[in-house]
Amino acid sequence: MSLTAPANDEPAHDTGTAPARDLAALDAWLEALSAEQRVEWALAHGDGNPALSSSFGAQSAVTLHMLSRQRPDIPVILVDTGYLFPDTYRFADALVERLGLNLHVYRPLVSRAWMEARHGRLWEQGVAGLDDYNQLRKVEPMRRALDELDVGTWFTGLRRDQSGSRNRTPIVQQRGPRLKVSPIADWSDRQVWRYLQAHDLPYHPLWHQGYVSIGDVHTTTRWEPGMKPEDTRFFGLKRECGIHEQL
């Protein structure tokens, strides 16, 4: 299949001003392609500098492998909140070495100690505290990363079946000045497993201990029977940290 959309379907690539119907047509066209073809198209036709954000979470090896195969030097953005699991840091180190990733680590402007001195343990202060925590330790560093790296095409590993809040994730969307591309948005857990098996790639070590969604130590819990995956994050009070809602 050609990786150039039909002329009567493809919008102008100045997507900052592209009509919504054009992006919708492009998204519908990309739905018919494989994830690898979507990546190939976006790298060739996306706006500005490309980058991939990754939490180095449970199934992150899929997009890290897929993107780095086609663009070995693509910047990979990791937001280090200072509260990640030790296993996450070791997992990131292992994948960086194995895949030769061009890793860019961004951290909050305020240290853990200073934040806790000013605000206490924000993650224990209900939804409002969680929102403040996420703004300080996740959203602001990611916004800064996207700006400083001058990212025009932002790749993510979002998938629709990860949670109810993500079940309408498009393959491509305009988010402010950036084209946001989620090449495996329509993948199931089984498709993820098959890809990992085919390429001898690992799950996050905590996956095998029952952690299905992995963030910070104090806001991530092990999955138990009867729980939805989103219940394992933020004490079940919310699913999203704000990055993919605001940026």
Helix orientation angle between 61-70 and 35-45, rounded to the nearest 10 degrees: 50
pLDDT exceeds cutoff 60 at 7: no
* 195-240 pLDDT tens trace: 999 999 999 999 999 999 899 999 999 999 988 888 887 787 756 7
Q: Which is the catalytic residue, given 26, 206, 241, 243?
A: 241
**Where residue 172 falls among pLDDT bands split at 50, 70, 90?**
very high
* pLDDT score at 198: 99
* pLDDT score at 245: 86
DSSP for residue 137: I
* pLDDT score at 216: 95
* 29-65 pLDDT tens trace: 999 999 999 999 999 999 999 999 999 999 999 999 9
Task: Say whether 241 is catalytic.
Answer: yes
**The whole model's pTM is what?**
0.89
What are the structure tokens assigned to 130, written together? Answer: 């969680």
pLDDT exceeds cutoff 90 at 11: no
Report the C-alpha gap between 145 and 160 in whole angstroms.
Answer: 25
* 93-149 pLDDT tens trace: 999 999 999 999 999 999 999 999 999 999 999 999 999 999 999 999 999 999 999
Report the C-alpha gap between 1 and 106 in whole angstroms.
Answer: 38
CA atoms within 13 A on the CB side of 200: 2
Q: Which domains does the chain have, with CATH numbers?
A: 20-246 (3.40.50.620)
pLDDT exceeds cutoff 70 at 16: no
* pLDDT score at 2: 38
